[in-house]
Amino acid sequence: MKLKDLFKKMALRAGIAETDANLVATIEAIPDFEVNDDTVVKPLTTNLITESEAENKPTIKTKFTAQALNGVDAVIDPVLAEFMSEEEIAQFKKEEKPTFKKLNKLSEKLKELKVSSKPADKNELNNLQKQYNDEIAKLKTQITQTIQDKDKEIDDIRKTHKRERFDDGLARKVLNRKDLVDFATQKEGRRVVADVYDTLKEIGAQFDYETGKVVQAGDPSLEFFLDNKKASIDDIINKTLADNNYVKKSDPAPKSEIVIEQEKNRQDPKSNHAVNKNLSRLKEDEE
């Protein structure tokens, strides 16, 4: 597959409109060469997924659901152990959706206690009801925390992915330059990318990966100004290249000597003799 086509495919999956001007310009700037389908294309299109794809992917949903339900089991099992044998609890684990069946078992136990008229059973009911309410409250807290943790984990993955794709764009800008020394373009332009982030740190700026703007590190809501104008990504790259002497220096023009004819005559005896002869003739005519 062509690198252009791969980049376009990944951009469309990320939700960028096919007619987006920046996307079209970026694709046109990508070198026209092939990338290996097995070692590059397939891993990228298979292993990198969008946020919406992740939400609907069965394996991911199953994994996070299982982790949440494991926390539920940790709360329910001690309560069940008070009125069920180890064999009965072990049997639950062999069945499908055991966590929900454990909750049903707790509900059945409560119903049994409610119909009982014995004071002892009523006390047990009250105690169990309190335990049940406490455990449900803990369960809700744990589930909420688990969901928040997983949401953060997914958000971190999404931000990392966006940062990596942004850095790929920086590297392409470097590699497309024809005026840089070889040292700058080594390591696929990643050396300059690292220096770009050093430059941002030195001047107190950072990139906004959502908008592609250069903003103030202390207040990302404000755009960053460089040399009395809004700084662009290219401005930061150019400053980095200049500060690190990555731009090739132009060769000085060769010095050319201009020999004045008069100077040549001073050094040429034949020319001096001709001049003197003409002066003598002029003097004779005057006499």
Going by C-beta distance under 8 Å and a sequence separation of 6 or more, which residues neighbour residue 191? 183, 184
Average pLDDT over residues 61-86: 68
Q: In this structure, which long-range contacts are made by residues 176-184, counting pairs with CB atoms below 8 Å and at least 24 apart in sequence?
A: 176/29, 176/31, 177/241, 179/247, 179/248, 180/241, 180/246, 180/247, 180/248, 181/245, 181/246, 181/247, 181/248, 183/246, 184/241, 184/244, 184/246
Give the mean model confidence (pLDDT) for residues 253-281. Answer: 52
CA distances from 236 to 160, 165, 232 (A): 21, 18, 7
Percent of the chain with pLDDT over 70: 64
Kindly tell me if the per-residue pLDDT of 272 is higher than 70: no
Instruction: Give the pLDDT confidence score for residue 259 in this predicted structure.
Output: 45
Which H helix or E strand runs over 104? helix 98-115
8 A C-beta contact, residue 233 and residue 206: no
Model confidence at 9, pLDDT cuts 50, 70, 90, reads confident
